[in-house]
Amino acid sequence: MRGYLVLRVIAKLLIPFILVFGLYVQFHGDFGPGGGFQAGVIVAAAIIFHALIYGLPRTRLVVPEWVVETLVAAGLLLYIAVGIASMLMGGGFLDYSVLMHDPVHGQHRGILLVELGVGISVAGVMLMIFYMFAGRSRTPDSEK
């Protein structure tokens, strides 16, 4: 979309706000609506928007494929790590109450970390699926 000046400028203006909104939905999910799943797809949608306007090769420079691949696994690993951490600290698997001295604080901390894990994994998977689909082209040599 090289010629579409309006789209390019608007996208440049909008993408930071979409990303900040994604972070808001992520970390404010314990007070308002939202949480990991929603934040993950919003962040992924912002990056896909970037790819639609500026083209996949340039998005691959901003968010390389290995980063996305790492995110896919990192979110799930963070979730499991919280569970194992609560086991090591004397509770059951995913029993957040033992994470801090105060059980309520522990719960809060655990929920925040677990939701972050969900968000990272969902954003990674959404982006990865998009990269895989959009990266396939009719002619093999325009792949890069």
Contacting residues toward other proteins, per CB under 8 A: 25, 29-38, 41-42, 44-45, 48, 52, 69, 72-73, 75-76, 79-80, 83, 93-94, 96, 103-105, 107-108, 110-111, 114-115, 117-118, 121-122, 124-126, 128-130, 132-138, 140-141, 143
8 vs 77, which CB is nearer to other proteins? 77
CB of 143 to other proteins, least distance (A): 7
Measured CA to CA, the distance from residue 78 to residue 25 in angstroms comes to 19
**Shortest separation between residue 12's beta carbon and other proteins, angstroms:** 19
**Residue 21 CA: distances (Å) to CA of 5, 74, 119, 134:** 25, 22, 13, 25
Residue 120 CB, nearest distance to other proteins (Å)?
Answer: 10
